[in-house]
Amino acid sequence: MNAKAPELRPVVARFVKPGDSPDTVDPCGPSPVIIHVDLLRKITPEWLRLSFELKRDAEANRIFGKQTSKQAAAKPSADQPLSLPLSLSLLGWVLEMWGYTLANHRLGVKHLVWQNLQTEPSALWHTNLDGIDDGRYGNSPYIYHYTFGLEFTTDGLPVSTIGDWSLDKRHYMGNYPPKQLEPPPLCAGLAARTLHSLFNEASGNISSWPTGTPNIAAGLKGTKGWGSGGVGGGVLASKGGALTDAVYRRSALAQAAATRGPWKWGGEGPVLFFRGGRIYTPWGSGRWSLAGDAIAVNLGTCGTYRLVFNKARTGFSASKGHGAATSHGVIADGAVCNQGGCETKNGGADGANDDADADAEGDDDDDGDGVGAAAAAAAAKWRRMSDSRFYKRLLGSGPWSWQGVTPLGFLGGGVLHTPWGAGTWEIDSGKDNTIRASFVSKVHSVTFDECWAFESTREDDGDKAHGVAKIDAPAGGQGAPKACPANL
């Protein structure tokens, strides 16, 4: 409960004692709390009265009744991205918690807020909880408050909707979880493995626990089958199957979409296609897949679209279904295929066999000013770099965030898209899993782990930054950055 959050502060200010500031409200709710019974008896009447008062107040009910404190307080950071789904607001249960918090404030009751008493792990924060108090991830809490679902894609990205792998107590409201729940993906947070292990330990040691292992076909779901399936979580594009890595590598169209850009669609951008069938748009995240010679895109309640690309794969026409085109998309101005970004060897890094582009990059320098030679050298450099295992791993992957801010995309030919403008990236051949990223006139040395996180050091002053893969709120859903477009 964070009364200082910008979205909450104006409402809290109306319910604090006259002359007091929201800054004086304790950042806590009613559970867990260690309290003397006589003090609880003193608080309860005001707690009840205020809970009803908040419910009857239209603004307070809208803010407190349909939004979690985590959402309201969230700030972008490397280990706590945004986008907890509003569906987890639990039908306004946090409103009663605010009734407790504000009642205590009005009655002058102060709390010793002990952060280590309880922690609420999720896929988006407190992901490293391991239940072992050895100091590796700070002191382990005494209580795991198992309230948020742990939601991940099959390749281990955290998602804010129901994931391909989902451990959520709400799935089991009417029946027991089956024994031996399926394990989390390799790159899922440590908290997911910890809670998965505890679930299986409990079911395996309670003799009366019903028998039966997960069987989706028989309707006995464990941690899989709650979402729509497929790599990457969320709803798969209409009439398109999962964009697996094998499918992606066989398709020049898929590779061109994911390694070129950023794109504009309907005049708005950025739009970024990522491997695994994930798409970033100004209206929120979505899914994409191959549909014959086109790309199918599902933007949730915003609609499903069929994208037909031109021969050069530098633009597309979009339609709903197989009807007439209703909008168009192009590679954004200044982000054309350059530095070798549109050339590939057979099935290679950038995936878009476009001989015209390759020829243009290698033209002789007829003017004698060195431009043609520089272009040829750049193209040769990126052809060599495309052989790097790490280059192939990073190219078109994501979506990524930098200090919690999206979108960050590693495109072909060393083109880097950042939330702060265009940049470049290249493999640092002297360091494992490391690139040199340049944007906003600064160069950063960026080292990636084996999963979905990186650490960066700015070369001129040593400033540190962090990044993780992050899928933003779904298009058309709660928390989406913009309303569904009318011109698609």
User: What pLDDT was estimated at residue 378?
Assistant: 66
Q: Is 149 in contact with 167 (CB distance < 8 Å)?
A: yes
3-state secondary structure of 268: strand
Beta pairing class for 294-298 and 284-291: antiparallel
Is position 230 within any domain?
A: yes
Rounded to whole angstroms, the Cα distance separating 334 from 337 reads 9
What is the spatial distance between Cα 330 and Cα 310, in angstroms, rounded to a whole number? 10
Distance separating alpha carbons of residues 175 and 37, to the nearest angstrom: 35
Count Cβ atoms below 10 Å from residue 214 Cβ, excluding itself.
Answer: 17
Residue 258 within a domain: yes
Model pLDDT, residue 6: 83
Nearest to 403 by CA among 451, 440, 439, 454: 454
Q: Are 81 and 94 in a shared domain? A: yes
What pLDDT sits at residue 243?
Answer: 84
Final residue belonging to a domain, choices 81, 113, 145: 113
Q: Are residues 140 and 219 in the same domain?
A: yes
Query: In DSSP terms, which residues pair with 427 in a beta bridge?
Result: 435
Domain co-membership, 124 together with 66: no
Q: Which domain-ending residue is among 297, 331, 365? A: 331
- Decide if 395 contacts 350 (C-beta within 8 A): yes
Gap between the Cα atoms of 403 and 50, Å rounded? 38
Same domain for 265 and 211: no
State which residues form the domain around 75: 9-113
Residue 345 lies in a domain: no
Residue 118's pLDDT is: 84
Predicted pLDDT at 70 = 40
Residue 3, domain member (yes or no):
no
| Same-domain check for residues 73 and 134 | no
Residues 147 and 258 in one domain: no
The terminus-to-terminus CA distance of the chain in angstroms comes to: 39
CA distances from 308 to 255, 266, 324, 342 (A): 15, 14, 11, 18
Q: What is the pLDDT of residue 213?
A: 78
> In angstroms, rounded to a whole number, what is the distance separating the alpha carbons of residues 97 and 65?
10
For position 271, what pLDDT does the model report?
97
In this structure, is residue 400 part of a structural domain? no
In a domain, 225, yes or no: yes
Token pair 């639990």 is found at 90
Judgement on whether residues 140 and 216 belong to the same structural domain of the protein: yes
Low-confidence ranges of the chain (pLDDT < 50): 67-91, 137, 229-240, 336, 338-368
What does the pLDDT read at residue 67? Answer: 44
Based on the structure, what is the number of domains in the chain?
Answer: 3
Residue 128 lies in a domain: yes
Specify the amino acid at residue 396. G
Judged by DSSP in three states, 381 sits in helix
What 3-state class would DSSP assign to 484?
coil
Judgement on whether residues 81 and 191 belong to the same structural domain of the protein: no
- Do 181 and 274 lie in one domain? The reply is no
Q: Answer yes or no: do 39 and 76 share one domain.
A: yes
Q: Are residues 224 and 123 in the same domain?
A: yes
- Residue ending a domain, among 213, 234, 255, is 234
Q: Classify residue 67: in a domain, yes or no.
A: yes
Q: Are residues 147 and 47 in the same domain?
A: no
